[in-house]
Structure 1
Amino acid sequence: MDLQSFYYFQEVAKDLNITKTANRLFISQQTLSNHIKRLEDYFDTPLLHRKPKLSLTYAGEFVLSFSNFVSNKERNLNDVMMDIRNVDKGLLRFGASVMRTSLVLSHILELFSEKFPKVELRISNLNSQLCLNSILNGTLDLALVLFHRNGEKNFDKELNYIHLIDEEIYLCVTDGLLEKYYGKDAKELKKRSKEGARLENFSRLPFAMLNNHMGRTIDFCFNEAGFTPKVRALSSNLQITSTFGVRGLAACFVSKSSVLTYISDFKRDDINFFPLLLDNEVLCQKCYLIHRKDRYLSQYTKMFSELLIKFFTYIGRLSMDEIIHEEGLSGLHEYLASETEI
């Protein structure tokens, strides 16, 4: 059996379009079709339905699973050999949301690149579910994923989950917006919500809502509060909803990570951050670093993982005030550099 044919079959399975796959791989359609035909001849069964549109046959599903398995084992073997030979180059495929990618790389990339300047970091900006799928099928080596409360029940037995941070979610609202809708009661509402905000107490406000993982988590709070929010804006992009918040157009929701990523927008004294409550507890989303249990971790993969763990450990210790005024960030680089060992 030709391993290259399995590779091409994997690629065709991604697009289910011979023309698109051939163009993407810079090979001819005939060459690609020949590799698929070679596998079908070897197994003496069709692997693809050609009509009405390209799709995997039942046998094709098994061949794809085997192809993914072989691909993962081949990468493991290559990484083991490179570590044995002390070769400090390679490829690290990392997945996370756009926001988290921007945040972590701005703090750890310099240290990582100093140690492994020949390692290519290939980044995929995906949501948590797509990151999980990509780790499982072997197209990513490491990924950051988020879970709701009790999300551990859905852990996949093929993966390792490294807990990074329980990230608190905050209701973000300006003084001006509170005073506009609550008048003389705004001051008392701020005082009462300092340690935890119940959404039913903010039902008069318009909201900039999120239709992503964090937004689905926040929906639990609205259900508990028993009202439907007045939606001023709806987006999956935290920077967009935060813009409505910091300009006093609507209340919005943020986390430490989002505030750190867009720190210049939040460095004002008239913005309030109230920890959001659900079932009398501060609402958190759990962030994990994941990889396959059977994936060999090269030296550079271990260092990248450790930098991520150290980074989230550090920011997890900071209060929102320390983040906003950047008091706690001054020692971050030194902490990462001194604590990181391979």
Structure 2
Amino acid sequence: MLNNYKYFLVLAEELNISRAAKRLFISHQNLSKYLKGLEEKYGVTFFERKPKFVLTPAGKIMLDTLRQIELSEQNLENQLIDIKEAKSGTIRFGITEGRYPILVPKLLKEFHSLHPKVNLVIHRATSPQMQEMVLNNSLDLCLSGITNLVTHELKYEIVINEHMYIVISDNLLKQYFPSSYPECKETFAKGADLHLFQQVPFVLNKKNFNSRILMDKHLSEKGISLNCINELTQPDIHHLLCAEDYAASFCLTMYLTGINQLNKFHYTNSHLNVFPIADFKSINPLGLIYHKNKKFPSYAKDLKVLIKRFCSPYSTLIEK
């Protein structure tokens, strides 16, 4: 019965027999028969059928066990690939939407030139989604902030430590600091005190994202309340909105080059300023995250080296 363990894994993901059968390219009848046989074999019920199709406690134990079996099978295949010196296979890499255009184009090109027979599959998702995908073996590794890791089953390797900056246009500075503009730019370049920005409109990330967690912690510690007029998850959209004088925003180190590009090619109503934040001591450690029991083939190790190399230039931005 465990020979078709992937049937159970897909059922646990879909929690719907029809959708699971469709994903598995088998009939609803055959999948129902598989589940019934599995439950008869072990003498327990793995899924409650009503009022909703959900895992029972026994089902959760079975799911955890089968995920370990799946991981062991993946590890076996990865180790045999290197023994056979067969440089072909698939590696699944996760990255957030905002970092995708920064890293993925050059990463795909460079990795393909090193391993033309290896399929590098890129998934775009949020950090919490990618953590879950690593845990359920649908991702091999992902690039994400590590401040909100939810389990000791995950390991990580730090790539860079990012700082946080405030982004605001000249026009907004003129509007909200009329008596001190442009001299205020010199002052803010040494560290912008967010107490002075409480009337300024801001677009912020959503609350469960790393940058927002860091920002909310700072605001709480300093007793600051910002005028948030919108919450969006895409950092590049934040900066485009800043360029339209819609609001100010915040920026992690890796996104600074995007702001530089907006200024360079005059895609702004007025110049975008990037200032460090006064007394902001938190950093965003960006890491490669993977399952602690994952064994990688040599081409995956090459992928990690490439990612670290492509991220390293952004570390120098912190020092400037």
| Contact 2:205/2:232 (8 A) holds in 1 | yes
The equivalent of 1:30 in structure 2 is 29
The equivalent of 1:288 in structure 2 is 287
Counterpart secondary structure, 2:163:
strand
Structure-2 change in CA distance of 1:304 and 1:214 (3 Å): same
Counterpart secondary structure, 2:179:
helix
Identity of aligned residues (%): 28
The equivalent of 2:142 in structure 1 is 143
The equivalent of 1:208 in structure 2 is 203
After superposition, what is the alpha-carbon deviation per residue over 1:64-90, rounded to whole angstroms, capped at 9, x for unaligned? 111101100001111111111111111
Counterpart secondary structure, 1:318:
helix
Name the amino acid aligned to 1:226: G
After superposition, what is the alpha-carbon deviation per residue over 1:82-114, rounded to whole angstroms, capped at 9, x for unaligned? 111111111111112112222211222211011
| Counterpart selection for 2:231 from 231, 234, 248 | 234
RMSD: 2.2
| Counterpart selection for 2:160 from 161, 165, 168 | 165
Counterpart secondary structure, 1:253:
strand
Q: Distance in 1 between matches of 2:106 and 2:10?
A: 34
1:33-44 matches, cutoff 5 A? 33-44=32-43
Structure-2 change in CA distance of 1:225 and 1:204 (3 Å): farther
Counterpart secondary structure, 1:248:
coil
Shift of 1:261: 5.0
| Counterpart selection for 2:171 from 168, 172, 176 | 176
Structure-2 change in CA distance of 1:78 and 1:310 (3 Å): same
Q: Distance in 1 between matches of 2:132 and 2:47?
A: 22
| Contact 1:104/1:311 (8 A) holds in 2 | yes
The equivalent of 2:3 in structure 1 is 3
Q: Distance in 2 between matches of 1:184 and 1:164?
A: 42
Q: Distance in 2 between matches of 1:59 and 1:110?
A: 45
Structure-2 change in CA distance of 1:74 and 1:287 (3 Å): same
The equivalent of 2:304 in structure 1 is 305
| Contact 1:199/1:221 (8 A) holds in 2 | no
Counterpart secondary structure, 2:178:
helix
The equivalent of 1:72 in structure 2 is 71
TM-score, scaled to structure 1? 0.85
The equivalent of 1:339 in structure 2 is none
Structure-2 change in CA distance of 1:53 and 1:43 (3 Å): same
Shift of 1:282: 4.5
Of the structure 1 ranges 194-203 and 85-94, higher mean CA displacement relative to structure 2 is found in 194-203
Name the amino acid aligned to 2:170: D
The equivalent of 1:196 in structure 2 is 191
After superposition, what is the alpha-carbon deviation per residue over 1:244-289, rounded to whole angstroms, capped at 9, x for unaligned? 2112221111123223356532435822100123xx2444211111
- 2:55 equivalent to 1:60: no
- 2:151 equivalent to 1:134: no
| Contact 1:233/1:241 (8 A) holds in 2 | no
| Contact 2:134/2:141 (8 A) holds in 1 | yes
TM-score, scaled to structure 2? 0.90
Shift of 1:225: 4.2
Q: Distance in 1 between matches of 2:54 and 2:193?
A: 50
Q: Distance in 1 between matches of 2:32 and 2:78?
A: 31
Q: Distance in 2 between matches of 1:136 and 1:261?
A: 32
Counterpart secondary structure, 2:51:
coil
Structure-2 change in CA distance of 1:283 and 1:45 (3 Å): closer
After superposition, what is the alpha-carbon deviation per residue over 1:127-173, rounded to whole angstroms, capped at 9, x for unaligned? 2222222222222110112144xx6xx67433321011111111011
